[in-house]
Structure 1
Amino acid sequence: MIEYPAKDDAPRSHLPFSPATKVGDLIFVSGQASVDGTGKIISDSFEGEMRRSIENLRKVLESCGSDLAHVVQTRNYVRDATDNAEYNRIYMDIFKAPFPARTTITNCLSPALR
């Protein structure tokens, strides 16, 4: 059975995708950004935006009956490679060893998102 769980406090997007899709015990989460509950982008420091994005991920996982401790893989997009050290520091603060499998791509976001 395919489910599309979502609680009222989970972040929403105006784009055509579900925040998460659950199939059996697996949860597939769409990309999370520094947005409020309505999908409006909230600009902040790098740390503020990353922590807001992770908080949105936490809310989506919670709406599926899970949490950050059960994340097995992440895909990350970092606007500027100069933020990698801070990104790794925050990532290690949120996820604990053994860390989830991870792919991180830098300098790839549209100039409109800068």
Structure 2
Amino acid sequence: MKRVIETDDAPAAVGAYSQATADGSLLFTAGQIPLTADGELLDDEPIDAQTEQALSNLDAVLEEADATSTDILKATVFLDDIEDFEAMNEAYADYFDDEPPARSAVEVAALPKGVGVEIEAVATLE
């Protein structure tokens, strides 16, 4: 049965979506952008700082679902400029320092609120 995950420690959903949903053993997160839970948008920060905030938001959603970053099976990183890949990857590698999940990283035409990165994940709850 589908379960909706919501936490005040990550930015609230601002549309017709949930921060995450779970069904049995799998958790699917919405894309996390560099927006603090207090509403501060970090769109003018370097991509590494934006990546760190997006991952911090992801952490908060995972924690609400009783999961951690080690439970992530697959992550997808959306960049508005693929030239930011190296800087994003360095911040990402610090977050996943051991046994990182499978990952896709793609350049997109634009991201919500003009940010440089958005990250979503699929995690196991077992």
Range class of TM-score, shorter chain: 0.7 to 0.9
Normalising by the residue count of structure 1, what TM-score does the alignment of the two structures yield? Answer: 0.87
The separation in 1 between residues aligned to 2:14 and 2:113, in whole angstroms, is 17
Which structure is richer in relative contact order (CA contacts within 8 A, separation 6 or more)? Answer: 2
Root-mean-square deviation over aligned CA pairs: 2.0
Give the aligned partner of residue 103 of structure 1. Answer: 104
Q: Which 4+ runs in 1 deviate beyond 4 A?
A: none
Give the aligned partner of residue 123 of structure 2. Answer: none
- The correspondence of residues 67-78 of structure 1 with structure 2, limited to 5 A, is 67-78=68-79
Normalising by the residue count of structure 2, what TM-score does the alignment of the two structures yield? Answer: 0.79
Deviations 1:36-86 (A, max 9, x none): 225553322211111000000000011111011110101111121221111
Give the aligned partner of residue 21 of structure 1. Answer: 21
How many residues are aligned here? 114
The separation in 2 between residues aligned to 1:111 and 1:5, in whole angstroms, is 21
* Identical residues among aligned pairs (%): 25
